[in-house]
Chain A
Amino acid sequence: MKVLVPIKRVIDYNVKARVKADNSDVDLTNVKMALNPFCEIAIEEAIRLKEAGTATEVIAVTIGAKASQEQLRTALALGADKAIHIETDEKLESLHVAKLLAKIVEQEAPELVILGKQSIDSDNNQTGQMLAALTGRGQGTFASKVDIANGTVNVTREVDGGLQTVALKLPAVVTTDLRLNEPRYASLPNIMKAKRKPLEVIAADSLGVDLTPRIELVAVHEPEKRSGGIIVDDVAQLVDLLKTQAKVI
């Protein structure tokens, strides 16, 4: 079974994003970039399926500028067999990404697509669901467990209030939640080997997808700052202030 894992290059999750002075966007110049944490989990799950003998081939795909090949190499070092880079310098929206991915799904015909549930830059949480819709597949979002048997994938989903398990007919689309697995680190020999693995580059505008923006970014502002608080000496003072000053208890 072939597994496709779309991944994204994003700001490192430890870095606090800064808003540009002209309020046009977030400033990403000279900011450390990394693989989106949920995409790491998606790669890990695909590799585990391969190690279990369920998956035969794992393909990582990303859409973005040339630099995002770094993240594809990371995916290859973690165990993906080949990588596809859909190159574009445009900042794309989830719908565009899903449409481009749908083309790759058509081309590669993977039985399973595993994505992260959201990217930590745009915080959209849309691409997996949109891809499932566009490819006419069932979706298992926020997965904390994935079980494949007899042409079905059982996905345990993290939902408000607990866990829900759904059975999806393969081919299907799954998006990862945090507890699905703990991603491994790439070893040095594997990082070296990854350099020789195949990486196909496709120009985004060659795929026949209309990439006209549907959303205009009007402005980006800093969130309102909280006013500095006070350090209390003890519990008695804390409770007193909550009662008399803040009046919340």
Chain B
Amino acid sequence: MKTLVIADHDNGSLKPETSKTINAALKLGFAVDVLIAGENVAPMSEIVASIAGVNTVLVADHSEYAHQLAENIADLVLLLAPDYSHLVASATTTGKNFMPRVAALLDVAQISEIIDVVDADTFKRPIYAGNAIATVKSLDSKKVITVRASSFDLQGEQAPAESRVVDSVFSSELSAFVSVEQTESERPELTAAQVVISGGRGMQNGENFSLLNGIADKLGAAIGASRAAVDAGFVPNDMQVGQTGKIVAPNLYIAVGISGAIQHLAGMKDSKVIVAINKDPDAPIFQVADYGLVADLFDVLPELEQAL
């Protein structure tokens, strides 16, 4: 019994989700190897090798893996799968993309977005937008699992583990990379930030999101948004916190002009401390908020920036 974790990265840097996913994988109780597939990933493989608990790092470095197309990565993981009882990836857009493909090719079910490991076969995962927590037991001989990273801790460091090169190259004819458009941001990543400040429909337009900048700067916070704000075109979709967006669990979450629909709460209700600023005292967000301020956000935000 051995576990393979597939590292999440963007070729340049390792995603913090990887370390948390390794933390989850170690709870299964077996040796954990980590596959890092991408282009020019050697510097990153050293970082992975230094994450506490990693047994061996498998490095697949080739241009065909640069964009981590599901078709190519799934075939690569499939090649390695016979040596492992558990295959684990982060529930990021990358992991969510290739892991079910791996599972189907292995003819096993996938357990998505686990938030707790009960034992090597049994896991907890949220369903119905986090309104229920299901305990599920996998009956398959091989487990394919994605991990909700925000539910697990970062791993510490160790003396670097050994690395091994995987030189098999899979190049599917089915898909090809065309282009990528990165959202520019100098702020911490939403899923990794200790503080998140999010705006909702109450922000009224995209320009008003700049009212959050000063506060975010002072707190070192990432800026998020509700689905309503994204749907209204105020901000890009990758800022969306919620059931269908990103799941965050920072120390402090500040919801500004967000009513608190089920879909949004699903993405942030595991935050340590929640602050809600809303002018509607009946907004559902106040039911989960530790500190609520009933006020017009346009009055309060400049004041808050001053006070910090």
Contacts and interface: CB of A to CB of B under 8 A. Distances in A.
The answer to whether A and B interact is yes
B46 interface: no
A242 B180 contact: no
A230 B291 contact: yes
Given A229-B292, A231-B294, A235-B303, A134 B104 contact: yes
A14 B189 CA distance: 29
A19 B132 contact: yes
A65 to B, nearest CB: 18
Interface stretch (B18-26, B35-43, B157-165, B237-245): B237-245
Contact of A166 (B136, B176, B237): B176
B244 A117 contact: yes
B273 A216 contact: no
Interface residues of A, number: 83
B109 interface: yes
Nearest to A27: B132
Q: How large is the interface on B (under 10, 10 to 19, 20 to 34, 35 or more residues)?
A: 35 or more
Contact of B129 (A120, A168, A239): A120
B98 A223 contact: no
A44 interface: no
Looking at A38, A93, A120, A136, which has the most chain B CB atoms within 10 Å of its CB? A120
Nearest to A15: B262
Nearest to A134: B104
B111 to A, nearest CB: 7
B144 to A, nearest CB: 10
Interface in B269-284: 269, 272-275, 281
A69 interface: no
A123 B133 CA distance: 11
A183 B175 CA distance: 28
A1 B243 CA distance: 33
B226 to A, nearest CB: 12
A208 interface: no
Nearest to B15: A160
Contacts of A221: 132-133, 135
A235 B300 contact: yes
Contacts of A13: 262-263
B195 A248 contact: yes
A54 interface: no
A241 interface: yes
Interface string A200-227: 0000000000000111111111110010
B273 A138 contact: no
B238 A158 contact: yes
A160 B274 contact: no
A217 B275 CA distance: 35
A133 B290 contact: no
Contact of B178 (A144, A167, A179): A167
Contacts of A164: 67, 177, 179-181
Interface string A112-143: 00000110111111111111111011111110
Interface in B93-137: 93-94, 96-105, 107-113, 122, 125-137
Contact of A217 (B136, B178, B272): B136
A133 to B, nearest CB: 4
Nearest to A160: B93
A190 B143 CA distance: 46
Contact of B138 (A154, A162, A215, A228): A215
Given A141-B70, A229-B274, A238-B304, 10 more contacts: A17-B132, A98-B104, A130-B110, A139-B70, A164-B67, A172-B174, A179-B237, A235-B304, A246-B273, A249-B308
Interface of B: 10, 15, 67, 69-71, 74, 92-94, 96-105, 107-113, 122, 125-140, 172-183, 189, 191, 195, 219, 227, 230-231, 236-238, 243-244, 246, 251-252, 262-263, 269, 272-275, 281, 286-295, 300, 303-304, 307-308
Nearest 8 Cβ contacts at the A-B interface: A138-B174, A129-B100, A17-B128, A130-B104, A214-B109, A133-B104, A126-B100, A229-B290
